[in-house]
Each structure stands twice: as structure tokens, then as C-alpha cells.
Amino acid sequence: MNSRQIGDSNIMDNSNVRWAFNANSWQPTLDQILAASSYIQQEEKERITRFVFQDDAKSSLIGRLMMRKFVHDSTLLPYENIRFQRDDRGKPYLANAGDVPINFNVSHQGDYVVLAGNTMKNIGIDVMKIEPPLHKNVPEFFRIMKRQFSEREWSKILSYPTELKQIACFYRMWCLKESYVKNIGIGITVPLDKISFSVKSELKVGDIVSDTMLYVNNTLKEDWLFEETLLDDRHAVAVSFQQDRNVKTSPVPYDSLSFDDIVRDAKPLVEPDATFASNFISKEFKKI
């Protein structure tokens, strides 16, 4: 993965980012969680505390810390002034943005937490782990998901010769759909087969593909661009935004962040919360 200077205060460098954090390989220490507890809002702590599993608590916490880092890096708003709220469909936004243009979206699934941020335009992101269904065989799983995909999409998915490749294409399409509905903030409240994708280039780790086309109700939406890649051979990710296709821009590579990268410049909002930290650390892990 490409890596660039973290914490650079140059606004231009920080205005359009893609970040990835491997939550699965992070074993948080009590000190890290204590510090993190001082960087987030009370309602965020309450939500994280309600998770049964540490896996979910970690992903949610990292997502919130990444949002703060992006807002701070891209706008230079002091950490102490950053407050998030959610709209009526659950999408987080910067509460006290004023005239500051800022757009970001987080996704967490499988091993990763990812953030896409752009100061100028709405953005949506989704990451999915590519894995066979847990309690079903692949044809049964596809039968259940039949109505979520268009004829065009099913014919592409089923064109692959092995079930693993079909599942990989399925999750690629799923990321595309989610990145679109998350961009416009509606979530999965619309018939997903009406949001249909035509994919061309194959995904590869380290390569960003941006020739996928979107059809909504069978109408080509040329002004929507999707940047897709594999974070590793088991995680697909897609980012969506609107863009004039005649304006050529370079796809944005992912920076792989560590916990220290994410909190390097963070400033406390409140005192560290020992109860939150010990509850967090004592949560059980999902059994796979």
C-alpha cells in the first residue's frame, strides 16, 4: 500500500484521502483505550460500550477517531471544536462545520476500517470481506440475495468459473452499491437491483480501477465515478463520488494507518474514562 506523510498540515494534501486500518491485527492496550476515551464524545462512548464484542468496539472507535483526524487535517479545525452528529438516517456529519466544506464516510467490515474524505464533494465508501457464506452453500446464498442484484449483475457474477471468484465479484458489486447509497445517505432503503453496475477491469491489490459504470433504473449515470481496489486478497473496497468524466483526475491511493498515526495530533475533549477503558478491554472476541 502506498504510504505518505501522516499529519502533514498542508490543506491541499489532506483534502481528498483514503485511509485503511487493519483492526484485526491491532491488539489495543489499556493505555491506548484510555487515551482514546478522552478524544471522543459521550454518546460515542455509550454506543461503543453497548457492543458485546471487542471486534465491533474496535471498529467503531477507530472509525470515530479517523473522522476526527480527517476533519482536523483537512480543515485545521482544532480537535477540541470537532463535534459529530447523525442525520435521521444515521449518517454522521460535522455539527459545527459552519461554512467549512467537509465530506467523509467510514466503513468497517472484515479486518478493516476505512475512511474516504473529500472537502469538496460528497463521498461514500464500503469495504467487504470476500468470504464464502458461513451457514449456506453458494447457490443457496445467491438465491436468497437474488432480488438485490440486476440481471446484468447476476450474469457477470455467474460468468466466473469458480464459486470463490463468483463470491469475489458478488462482494465487489455489493461494495459498489453500498458506496453509492452511503454517498447519498439513504442507506439500504431502496431496491438495490435498481442500482446496477457494469464492471469492466478486474480488481487487483495495489491497483485502483475506475471504469465501472452505474445505471439507476436502467439509465446510465455518467457523472458518477467509482474507485475500486482490493486492500488485500480478501477485502474489496469501493469509493463513490460525482465527477465530470471529461475532467481527468488520478485515483487516490490508500494510506495504511496505525493507531499512533490516527491519534498523533489528537487533543482531549474530556478526561480519560477508566470505566470505559476497562469495559472495552474486557469485552470478548467473536468466535469465527
Ligand X SMILES: CC(C)(COP(=O)(O)OP(=O)(O)OC[C@H]1O[C@@H](n2cnc3c(N)ncnc32)[C@H](O)[C@@H]1OP(=O)(O)O)[C@@H](O)C(=O)NCCC(=O)NCCS
**Contacting positions for ligand X (CB under 6 A):** 60, 63, 89-92, 105-109, 126, 178, 181-182, 185, 187-189
> Closer CB to ligand X, residue 187 or residue 206?
187
User: What strand order describes the sheet that includes 213-216?
Assistant: 195-198, 213-216, 219-220
Closest CB to ligand X among residues 160, 234: 234
Question: Among residues 164 and 188, whose Cβ is nearest to ligand X?
Answer: 188
Beta bridge partners of 219: 216
Shortest reach from residue 105's CB to ligand X, in Å: 5
Q: State the residue number with the nearest CB to ligand X.
A: 187
Closest distance of CB 107 from ligand X, Å = 3
CB of 70 to ligand X, least distance (A): 12
**Closer residue to ligand X in complex, CB, 51/160:** 51
Burial of 243 by CB count in 10 Å (0-12 exposed, 13-18 middle, 19+ buried)? middle
| Nearest to ligand X of 24, 160 (CB atom) | 24
Q: E strands within 71-147? A: 84-86, 92-94, 103-109, 112-118, 124-129
CA–CA separation, 60 vs 107, rounded Å? 9
Amino acid at 21: F
Which pairs count as long-range contacts for 96-100, CB under 8 Å and 24+ apart, including other chains? 100/75
Q: Residue 160 or 190: which CB sits closer to ligand X?
A: 190
CB of 119 to ligand X, least distance (A): 18
Least Å distance, CB 124 to ligand X, is 6
**Residue 84 is placed in which grid cell?**
459529530
Q: How far is the CB of 161 from ligand X (least distance, A)?
A: 28
What letter does residue 201 receive in the DSSP assignment? S
Cα–Cα distance measured from residue 186 to residue 181, given in angstroms and rounded to the nearest whole number: 6
